[in-house]
Amino acid sequence: MKMKKSFNIDSSVQMRLYTLSKRQFVLVFICFFAAFGVSVLIGVTGPSIDVTNSTQHAVTDSNYSFVLESPSLTKFSRSLWLTAIINSTEYKNDKIQRKLRVDVTVRARKGDASWERLEYLNILSHERDLMCSKKDGCQPILVVHIGVLEFAHYQFTVELKGLETSQANSITFCFRSYNPVFSNMEIWFRFIFLVLTFIVTCMFAHALRKFSIRDWSVEQKWLSVLLPLLLLYNNPVFPLIFLVNSWVPVIVDTIFQTTFLSALLLFWLCAYHGIRQSDRKWMKFYLPKVIIVGAMWIIGITMTCWQQYRGLYDPTFNYKVDSGNFVALISIFFVFGALYLLYLLFLVIRAFTELRSLPYMNLRLQFMTILMLCVVIVSTVITILRYGVSVIKEDFVSELSTYYKNSAEFLAFYSLLNLYLYTMAFVYSPSKNAYKDSYFKDNPTFAMLNESEDDMGSEDEENQRTSLTSSRYQDSDNE
């Protein structure tokens, strides 16, 4: 006799997912994409994310030093970038690449006060790579990035060394900062998502209050962790960035975002593995996953905090080009990222292979996979539209970037992650009859998943009829 493979699967609270019809199942995804589409449309009609001011200066044999004054800045401008573009019409070669020494002196003032040199900043000097070609011209050079604006006006004295006048006709200096209108929009939408997340979190916790945590499914347990982390991702202290002259709120915002995204990656690993295994010991189940995701979390936090801290004392510092450790950190990050993808793919294939014959388990896997693919595909498209293939090119290290490229990108990414968790909270919350039915058994050993209650009831009636008929025959034989 052929033995059936047994699965070590938890019993769980009956979820709303089990009670959805095909029409309702499709309606859930329609609502998800409709809300996401509305958010993107609002972003498309929103303000530009940055404000740019450019000035052009001629280059002569005796003029390699330039004095530049920034436009008026406010707290909502948040950050200031200064870039330089070498303009030239003469090239000796098809491609030019050389080192430039850039010396910068920074002064600042508040209102109509006189210029004052920042005490903690001396003459700042760093090497930058000048890369030009006949086809694309010269790439922008990042001169200064001030992450926290303490003054309304800045003055920069920039001196370029190693530049040949025969190859440079003029230099275009470009000031760039956040658009104050976009900053206001970001504050309001973050607040809206924060309030919605708080409401969803309370409703989800209220729905599960009657059930023991030991009987929650793996998805319900993880949602009880992800929803509070989503509150941090929306950052209730985000307005402090505009109220406090400190880099601490910026670091806190980065830590919140990185932590939530890392927890989401960890959730996918644990969900696909835990759905077919109830014995989840720390060493065998959680430790390998925490090592992979934790390494990526540490690298992301390290690079951000390092850049913010060094930028306080040296606005010309850029860890992407001034530190050889950046390449090593990025290489390690991609290695752990590749391991994560392979591990996740293995768990997904293994889960579908072992549980596809079980109707309720297969339904859970299908829903979780379809929704996860929606998030991954949309996030990949946003990344490609923002960076293109430059994420693997050499010139990516000197790219000038903000968190988002435009309002549509900001709202698309924020609404995507928020709506993703809202949808899961709705589908994975207990059904209306969950408490009456006590606990719904997912274990195929005793759950009889292939049979409905009506079939079971008809079999009981048939057994009763057979029993009554047999008793009548026995009575007639006795007589």
Q: Which residues of 431-456 are buried (b: 16+ CB within 10 A; e: fewer)?
A: beebeeeeebbbbbeebebeeeeeee
**Segment 423-479, tens digit of pLDDT:** 999 999 887 775 555 444 444 433 434 443 444 444 444 444 444 444 444 444 444
Nearest to 74 by CA among 182, 190, 158, 235: 182
pLDDT band at 229 (very low <50, low <70, confident <90, very high): very high
Q: Which residue type sits at 370? A: I
Whole-angstrom distance, CA of residue 206 vs CA of residue 200 = 10
Q: What is the pLDDT of residue 378?
A: 87
SS3 content of the chain, % helix, strand, coil (to 5): 55, 15, 30
Over residues 320-341, the mean pLDDT reads: 81
**Segment 368-417, tens digit of pLDDT:** 999 999 999 988 887 777 655 444 333 333 333 445 778 888 899 899 99
**Segment 341-355, tens digit of pLDDT:** 999 999 999 888 887
Instruction: Answer yes or no: is pLDDT of 73 > 70.
Output: yes
Least confident of 16-20, 60-64, 272-276, 449-453: 449-453
Q: What is the pLDDT of residue 174?
A: 92
C-alpha distances out from residue 312 to 146, 148, 276, Å: 8, 8, 50
Q: Which residues of 137-171 are buried (b: 16+ CB within 10 A; e: fewer)?
A: ebbbbbbbbbbbbebbbbbbebebeebeeebbeeb
